[in-house]
Amino acid sequence: MKNILLVDCNAEVTRTVASLLSDTCKISNRAFGDDFAPGHAGMIILDAQGGIDAPADKISRIRKACAFRAIPIIVIKDGDDLATIERLLSAGATEVLSLDAPAAACRQILQGHLIPNRTPLEKEMAYLTPFIENTVTVLKKMAFVDATFREVYFSDVLRTYGDISGIIGLSGTSEGTVAVTFYWDLARKVIANMMKVTEDKINAEYIHDGAGELINMISGSTKKQFKGTPFHFDLSLPTVVVGSGHQLGHPEGSSIAVLIFDVGEQSFVLQVCLKPKKENKEQAESVQTEAQ
Amino acid sequence: MCATNDILFINQDERFRESIIPLLQAAGYTVHAANAMRNALSVLTTHPVGLIVCDQALDDIGGLEFLGFIKKDPLRENIPVMFLVPLKDQGRPLKLFELGAVDYLVYPLDSDMLIHRIGQAFRSPSQSASALKQESAPSAPVAATARSEPATAKPAQAKPIDLSTIGVEISRDGLLWMPGKIKAFTDQSISVETSLFGKKGVALMIRFKQPEGMFVVNGRIDTIVFDDFQKPADIDILVEQDDSWRRTFHWLTHGGDAAPGGAPPGETSEPAPVQCASEIEATIALSPEEDDADEISGEQLQQKAAKKKQSYDIRFYHSIIGKQLDNYRVITLIGAGSMGGVLQGWDVALEREVALKIISFELSSKEEFRELFVKEARVISKLNHPNIAQIYNIGCSSDILYYAMEFIDGITLKDVIARYRKLSLQKGLAVLITVCKALEVVYQNSIVHRDIKPANIMITHSGAIKLVDFGVAHSRDLKPSGKHRIMGTPLYMSPEQIAGLTLDHRSDMYSLGATFYHVLCGAPPFNAKEINDVLDQHLNASIPPLWERDPKIPSQLSDVIDKMMAKDPNDRYQSFKAVADEISGLRTKATSNKT
């Protein structure tokens, strides 16, 4: 049975969720606090009625507490104002549902989100393993931190919920993107070590150079191992992105491998999206040839 | 200046004409409507037309051909011609200007812009680039300031665009684009709020989506303000003073009006939005036992409810993307309808692409529909024909009912119509014969497809034809039961389908006839604003002969389509083989006539 954690949910929300999912899930209630931890929750449902700033802040903190794990955060909020929904999604919500939505729709949507993200196939680990090894090596050599690979899952979610990402585009035999994402506390430590300055000296320039260089090194050293293989790629210029909930530009329709690393109590992720380039195909242009 | 304010407005879409013409009349113009060259010429003969506003395709001829004809006519060559083109039609604007058009606009139209440009066309048929140069004299260099306050800004022209409505994208390498918002701009610089980070001197590209297409402006970061590490940065970008920026600056300072000069070369653009409402092209389920007056006459409410329902369905399908259902990895959503969604998947065991058809949440919650879904999948899995998409497996994972089927990498006839308006005659006949052969197998297995339409006939990239989506298929002679018993797509539904009668393969015959009517001439046999009116025409109205819609279509073929679409099923062809034989005979005759 999957565990669903209801956070700050009133009686009505609790009753509704129970009516939809109690036959397949174990439901528990908790109030949000500074020491919030998701535990073994397979889904978190947060009641966000009234206002937007406080719920958005709660969502950000819950998402950070999830430490990049693929735990869906479902926000219960009435209304369909797109700006509000976007704000909540940017903060870290997976889905925003209203109690007014048809019960069958809610049930199916929640069931869908409860399906765990899949794990990689053997042939996918063949290209992920070098990324894992090189990430640990680069962090050790350049930033003097010990990173431990924890877990990997596949996701189609384009948003990343850290504070800063270094992203690099891949093209050639394979195409895709690779991104490394940190929360600020760990990012400052890593960048300060890399740039050989104290954390209080970190400014925009150091952030840009440090994050860019980090993803460049991870991708560059992995690229060397793929030479002559179907996974070989060329690198574009690194891009640095800041602000939580920013959306990355992974190729459409592709799965993104999310590799989670721990540095002590903190975590960061490497997102790898890699696929062989499709051959150029003339689709129905070949069928429609005669001029009108 | 023209002595007359008469406009000849040529467009095949009656609804579109009806929506635009009153606006032009309100602006003081006398408007004459036409949908084809033959009636356009009739208007030109009888009225003093001062401007022609023409769609890129007419009922009986292409827009370019019509323009060429007009410009060769000494009596009409001086009438200015303005075109309306789809956004994706890259090469056409240049060709239009070469042939003598004075202007063009891109769908979707902004009515204010249309009227403004028509006014300009009446005043001065051609515009010069010098007018634009005068507007963009360079100002003093931007000072490097801590905050994004553009220094020595050249004042914007009348009616600057509302910046809050513009979304731009920013990239460092041209591959990865991040969204951004414009905070302010001068002719020298742009201030944006964006998640993309950088430092002074870093080169960036800014992409603007304008009516003519995507414009990319190059620049370098001048200043970057990053106070709150949780929020995006404010970046001032000094832009390169090239043609792309000049056009963009004009667009920003003129309320979104495009600078003259046409679409940016080499830029990709998005597909043209569908001009017509799609409700009559989507599969529907009608419930005639209920209070029809409320269900159908409150169409706006029905459409709103349908859209909301579809939104929940889409969210449900997105919730399973990236997940795995049994052996199938769900990759991306291909499409969704009222019956269910189709997603692209990957069979991890057999290592092949599949299409996953997933029943909609609403039908899934009803046991009768779940049973029907399974039963029909079993029947359809027995169909073994190279032109019918095969079902591989049916499953239920995490209470999600689905079936896995052959993944068809191609486009539908609906896409072909949208892109090219119609199929050529030879290709159309070839596809029709192939579909008839496939439907003969369906018929022999006592199955009625019930939703034959252009969207359910696919052409693979290798040119193979595939009949897809048996989602509403039924065993023959099975009298519809239950609440939602009438299934189909209004534009192509047979009279007996509309009437809720027992269906057989001859209903598919009618729908196939309607489909190929549309595919061969570019317009469906019946069309109207309201679904009810379309259905009524199927029941009661005579079909406009195909050869009248397109004089190039032989009358014998027109007769075949007419017979396929006879109101009484007994008057139609009784087998698809008979249709295929008839069409093959026509093709043979046409080929031998040529020789």
Residue A127 to chain B, least CA–CA distance (Å): 17
Cα–Cα distance between A55 and A60 in angstroms, integer?
9
Which residues from chain B sit within 8 angstroms of residue A184, using beta carbons?
Answer: 229-230
Chain A residues with CB under 8 Å of B348 CB are 121
The average pLDDT across B316-321 equals 88
Phi, psi of B510 (to 5 degrees): -60, -50
Chain A residue with the nearest C-alpha to that of B519: A288
Burial of A112 (0-12, 13-18, 19+ CB in 10 A): buried
What is the band of B145 on the pLDDT scale with cuts at 50, 70, 90? very low
Work out the minimum CA distance from A30 to partner chain B, whole angstroms: 25
Return the minimum-mean-pLDDT range out of A149-153, B294-298, B310-314, B315-319: B294-298
* Contact residues, chain B, for A256 at CB < 8 Å: 322
Architecture (CATH level 2) of domain A122-276: 3-Layer(aba) Sandwich (3.40)
What CATH number is given for B410-589 in this structure?
A: 1.10.510.10
Check CB contact of B196 with chain A, cutoff 8 Å: yes
- Inspect the interface and report whether the beta carbons of B427 and A288 lie closer than 8 Å: yes
Long-range pairs, B300-305, Cβ under 8 A, ≥24: B303/B279
Q: Cβ A241–B421 below 8 Å, yes or no?
A: no
Position B289 pLDDT exceeds 50: no
Burial of B441 (0-12, 13-18, 19+ CB in 10 A): middle
Q: What is the pLDDT of residues A68-86, one digit of tens each?
A: 999 999 999 988 788 888 8
Contact check, Cβ <8 Å, A109/B316: yes
Q: pLDDT higher for B93 or B443? A: B443
Handedness of CA A113, A114, A115, A120 (dihedral sign): positive
Contact present, A244 and B232 (Cβ < 8 Å): no
Q: Which of B16, B10, B61 is nearest to B33 (CA)?
A: B10
Give B36's contacts (C-beta < 8 A, 6+ positions apart).
B10, B12, B58, B59, B60, B61
For B215-232, how does the pLDDT look when each residue is reduced to its tens digit (9 = 90+)?
A: 899 999 998 887 776 677
pLDDT in tens, B98-114: 778 888 887 777 788 88
Evaluate whether the domain defined by B6-124 bears CATH number 3.40.50.2300: yes
CA dist., res. A263 & res. A193, Å (int): 14
pLDDT score, position B474? 64
Q: Which positions 34-93 of A are in contact with B (Cβ < 8 Å)?
A: none
pLDDT band at A192 (very low <50, low <70, confident <90, very high): very high
Where, residue-wise, is CATH 3.40.50.2300 in chain B? 6-124
Pick B416's closest partner by Cβ from A113, A249, A284: A284
- Partner residue opposite B315 with nearest CB, options A109, A177, A243: A109
Q: Distance between CA A166 and CA B366 in Å, rounded?
A: 48
Domain boundaries, chain A: 2-114, 122-276
Find residues 102-161 of chain A whose CB sits inside 8 Å of chain B.
Answer: 102, 104-105, 107-109, 111-118, 121, 154-157
| Cβ atoms of B381 and B371 closer than 8 Å | no
More confident residue, B113 or A98: A98
> What is the DSSP code string of B329-342?
EEEEEEEE-SSEEE
- Where does chain B hold its CATH 3.30.200.20 domain(s)? 292-406
- DSSP E strands in B11-102: the ranges are 30-34, 49-55, 81-85
Tell if the CB–CB gap between A108 and B361 is shorter than 8 Å: yes
Q: Is the pLDDT assigned to residue B273 strictly greater than 50?
A: no
Asked whether residue B79 carries a pLDDT value surpassing 80, the answer given is: yes
Q: What is the mean pLDDT of chain A?
A: 87
Which residues have CB under 8 Å from B351's CB, separation 6+?
none
Please report the pLDDT score of residue B125 as a whole number. 46
CB contact under 8 A, A163 and B232: no
- Check whether B73 has a pLDDT greater than 80: no
Most confident stretch, A205-219, A241-255, B216-230, B331-345? A205-219
Q: Which of A123-132, B91-100, B340-349, B481-490 has the lowest mean pLDDT?
A: B481-490
Q: How far apart are CA B395 and CA B200, in angstroms?
A: 56
The pLDDT value recorded for residue B486 is: 58
Cis peptide before B569 (omega within 30 of 0): no
In order of A176, A274, B241, B247, the CA distances from A172 in angstroms are: 9, 11, 32, 33
**From the CB of residue B54, how many other CB atoms can be counted at a distance below 10 Å?**
27
Mean pLDDT of chain B: 79
Indicate if ipTM > 0.90. no
Q: Do B226 and A204 touch (CB under 8 A)?
A: yes
Q: How close A118 comes to chain B (CA, Å)?
A: 5
Q: CA B150, CA B185: separation in Å to the nearest integer?
A: 6
> Span A34-59, mean pLDDT?
90
**Residue A105 and residue B421: Cβ atoms within 8 Å?**
no
Predicted confidence band at B269 (pLDDT cuts at 50, 70, 90)?
Answer: very low
Tell me where in chain B the CATH 2.40.10.220 domain(s) lie: 137-253
- What is the homologous superfamily of the domain B137-253 according to CATH? predicted glycosyltransferase like domains (2.40.10.220)
Taking the alpha carbons of A38, A43, A49, A51 in that order, is the dihedral positive or negative? positive
Q: What pLDDT band is residue B143 in, cutting at 50, 70 and 90?
A: very low
Inspect the interface and report whether the beta carbons of B322 and A118 lie closer than 8 Å: yes
Superfamily of domain B292-406: Phosphorylase Kinase; domain 1 (3.30.200.20)
Stretch B257-261: mean pLDDT: 63
Tokens of B379: 């029947």
DSSP class of residue A232? -
Given a cut of 90, whether residue A249 has pLDDT beyond it is: no
Domain with CATH 1.10.510.10 in chain B: 410-589
**Distance, CA of B345 to CA of B332 (rounded, Å):** 7
Interface of B with A in 509-568 (CB under 8 A): none
- DSSP tag of A196: T
What is the distance of C-alpha A258 from the center of its chain?
Answer: 7
Architecture field, domain A2-114: 3-Layer(aba) Sandwich (3.40)
Residue from B378, B390, B384, B392 nearest B325 by CA: B392
B415/A284 CB distance under 8 A = yes
Residue type, B66: F
State pLDDT tens for residues B33-66.
Answer: 998 887 888 788 778 888 999 988 887 778 888 8
Residues B282 and B274: beta-carbon distance below 8 Å? no
The encoded tokens of residue B485 equal: 């018993």
Which pTM was predicted? 0.68
Give residue A29's pLDDT band: very low, low, confident or very high (50, 70, 90).
Answer: very high
Give CA separation, B528 vs A52, B153, B532, B588, in Å: 44, 52, 8, 37
What's the pLDDT at A41? 94
What residues 339-358 of chain B have any CB closer than 8 A to a CB of chain A?
Answer: 344, 348
Let me know: does B241 contact B217? Beta carbons within 8 Å: no
